[in-house]
Chains A and B, each alone.
Chain A
Amino acid sequence: MHQVPLHNLHEEKAVMTSFAGFELPLFYTSIIEEHLAVRNSAGIFDVSHMGRILLEGEDSLNFLEKILPVSVTIKQDMKAFYSFMLNDKGFIIDDLIVLKLSKFKFIIVVNAANKEKDLDHINKCANSYKITIHDITFQTCMFAVQGPKSIELTSEVLRGTNMPEKRYEITTLNLESQEIIISRTGYTGEDGLEMIIPCKNGVQTAAMVWKEISKVAKECGLGSRDTLRIEAGLPLYGNEIDEKTTPFELGLERLINWDKDFIGKEALRRNLLPEKLVCGLVLEKDIPRAGFEVRDQQGSSVGFITSGTYSPILKKGIALAKVKNNYAQPGGMLFVQVRNSSRPSYVVKPPFYDTSKYGYKRVKQQI
């Protein structure tokens, strides 16, 4: 079992759980409290378990153009973006965030459970390219500070330092002569930051950053990280995505650049219409859980729940489900088999919350 560098600090306060081979905080006080802190103010998560792969060298850009369907060339330096690696059948190996530091230097942030598989794939594809690949997961910490007040509060406690101004922007900052990489990204639907802090020579800088930010942002565990990402409609590898999932099932065709060559392109071309689509379901009663069957009005099986939880904002059960594509239209009615009962649910397009009140696109309150 792996531990994150600040393990001892978390273990004192949090209920721990195991996830992807790591022992991690599940919650500190309450999943609902932590969830609401992020929606209404700010929360801090230790996400050091996420895989971090450093890619350097003169062919870095061309290499990523080959393994990712998105156009990497048009992204500016010091910008982050979401993408996925495909196998030659067009199925998703992993979804990821890329930090483009320059044409010659990238950090790829991948799912903890997939890191070894991803490294195998990357190394296999890297043969003819002039690049170096380093797994820097255990040499760094990674924190996410999320919520409408996260930027303002982080900048206050870190003494007005250089924060990224727009979503997906990246800045660097020197603290105790360590270079910290900060991107305006996250996995909660809210505005926020993710920071990568070197800890090869000790955890004191990372511990200082955590302690300072946690004075103003609520410490949050994996429990609320999951409820927040479900409420925002964000997919999770292992739930919505597996190695039989194409980007079309997730509604991500907009992230594919058909004008270039990339691994999986030919297979995707032949496979444009998915059988199933991911949609959102809202239940009036009971909480849907992963694996529950979804039926139509006539009682025929049309799909299954991939992630389900109680939504602290809607105060109802919500789910992401994979259903036959003609049932995924918002406004439709489907039935979730919750143990012995069939519970009516209506189909929505996530996010589940009112986007004028919550999430990074919310209408900013005038002071």
Chain B
Amino acid sequence: MKYKKYEIQEDLLYTKEHEWAKVSGHNARIGISDYAAKTLNDIVYVTLPKIGQTVKQFEVIGTIESVKAVSEIYSPFSGKVIQLNQQLESHPELINKSPYVEGWLLEVELSSYEQEKKNLLTAEEYIKHLESTQIQ
């Protein structure tokens, strides 16, 4: 799907802060949306939590630094961090180039999937959210 010039991938869940989560089995892969990547522009550093760390839904779990500004990453789900995208350390620009595939951030083992998924937006709802915040 597309909203204006931004790619919105259909099979993902989104936060209002522009993170996405792709659930498979008990795990979720997490990243930021094409809108977030394009708005931040030129990402140069990413700080992520450590493997084994427990995170809560909507808690700040890291930062993304672009040339212009630093912004926080909010976790879409609660759980335990089980994997990080090691490539980002030397190639943070992967987030700009491929926010849904090569530019993923981390994976968590979900602890409260059923209760928490209703707090997230589907692709259609996320597009409505972008529209309502009058994003160009």
Contacts and interface: CB of A to CB of B under 8 A. Distances in A.
Interface of A: 15-16, 26-27, 30-32, 223, 227, 286-287, 289, 309-310, 312
B67 A223 contact: yes
Nearest to A311: B67
Contacts of B68: 26, 31, 223
A289 B44 contact: no
A26 B70 CA distance: 16
A69 B38 CA distance: 45
Contacts of B136: 15-16
Given A16-B136, A287-B65, A32 B70 contact: no
A286 B42 contact: no
Nearest to B63: A339
Contacts of A227: 67
Contacts of A27: 41
Most chain B beta-carbon neighbours within 10 Å: one of A27, A32, A312: A32
B42 A31 contact: yes
Given A30-B41, A223-B41, 20 more contacts: A15-B38, A15-B41, A26-B41, A26-B68, A27-B41, A30-B96, A31-B41, A31-B67, A31-B68, A32-B42, A32-B67, A227-B67, A287-B44, A287-B45, A287-B70, A289-B69, A310-B44, A310-B65, A310-B67, A312-B67
Interface of B: 38-39, 41-42, 44-45, 65, 67-70, 96, 136
A30 B45 contact: no
A286 B64 CA distance: 11
A15 B67 contact: no
9 closest A-B pairs by CB: A31-B67, A32-B42, A310-B44, A310-B67, A31-B42, A30-B42, A287-B65, A31-B41, A27-B41
Nearest to A315: B44
Contacts of A309: 67
A233 B70 CA distance: 22
A190 to B, nearest CB: 18
